[in-house]
Amino acid sequence: MTNTPKTAESSVAQAADNAAEEATGRRVRILSARSAGILALVLAAVVFAIDQGTKYLVVTQMQLGERITVIDGLLWWYSIRNSGAAFSMGENVTWVFTLVMVAAAAVVLYLLRRTRALSWTLALGGLLGGICGNLFDRLFREPGFGSGHVVDFISVPNFAIFNIADSAICVCMAFIVLLNFKGLNLNGTRVQARADETPADEAPADGAPAGDKSTK
């Protein structure tokens, strides 16, 4: 009798389910250092590839400034180049954003060396992929090294035009906030309440010594 190997789709789905369980506090899946590192880098590579692939299509198939309706009134492909941050802020200091992204990537890589929890691995891996996607644009796109313009093309009403890397960064940062809110550490342990904190219903009455449980 032979075991049927899991497909890639089922493995990814299982990882997502496990991460969801960790985020809701039901279970924590602990990975080895090697497994966590490989999973994070694979996820980062997938995000990076999707981001750069979609940008390649925009650059080669659309004219700069061209707008294509996807869902009327809700979603458009709008080919622009952004030298600044969100909402085109800081357009004259592109190199600053390049340095910030290099520093951010270094911090994420440092945190990944300490990460063992599956949910943190997925969050940081996706975040690294998003950062590298936009960093690639800054380094290698026109007008020059370190000051390249980011390719943005996803347009929705009353919001900045963005790309896949931006989406990955925002989703993963929201996930990271949730993990911190749940008190889950990088290594899979949970933040414990301070030992010296006494619940209100166990606090001694005024004038009674602490720990006195005598009754009349």
Please say if 137 is a catalytic residue. Answer: no
Catalytic position from the list 166, 201, 206, 212: 166
SS3 string, the chain, reads CCCCCCCHHHHHHHHHHHHHHHHCCCCCCECCHHHHHHHHHHHHHHHHHHHHHHHHHHHHHCCCCCEEEEECCCEEEEEEEECCCHHHCCCCCHHHHHHHHHHHHHHHHHHHCCCCEHHHHHHHHHHHHHHHHHHHHHHHCCCCCCCCCEEEEEECCCCCCECHHHHHHHHHHHHHHHHHHCCECCCCCECCCCCCCCCHHHCCCCCCCCCCCCCC
Active-site hit among 17, 72, 152, 196? 152
Q: Which residues are catalytic?
A: 152, 166
